Amino acid sequence: MGYQNVSFPENSLFLVTGGAGFIGSNLCEAILKMGYKVRCLDDLSTGKQTNIDMLMDNPNYEFIKGDIKDFDTCMKACDGVDYVLNQAAWGSVPQSIEMSLLYCANNIMGTLNMMEAARQNGLKKFVYASSSSVYGDEPNLPKKEGREGNLLPPYAVCKMCDEE
């Protein structure tokens, strides 16, 4: 069963955070093709305007340039939304080592802001995108929940914190 066979109530509104990133922009496009409305929240720090340029003229698409670290922005972005697909995160392991405080602010506090804004706005579902980095240095494949190694970079710690 592909995603094309999944249905939601008519006029459902999806918020895709990090919607100008590679995965987020593809989610936006797929949701629009399914006939639903999409609101994209992205600060364009890692996402690209070119990823969403083709969506800007769609009447069912709305772009908000904003930062998930700002709670008021998260509240406004969640207003009237049914579902959140949270893709917003900074993803570079090496940069997370160099800029651990900024990664913590963005990837932990930003995600917490989104979760709280979703809760206060009474959203139906919140889908969080994690990372395989949460399995740490566990060498065995395939990776399995409950069999995690040591979390090495701050990026992995952030993602695990959000999962918890």
Residues involved in catalysis: 155
Q: Are 114 and 74 in contact (CB under 8 A)?
A: yes
How far apart are the C-alpha atoms of 93 and 156, rounded to whole Å?
Answer: 8
Q: Are strands 37-42 and 61-65 parallel, antiparallel or unpaired?
A: parallel
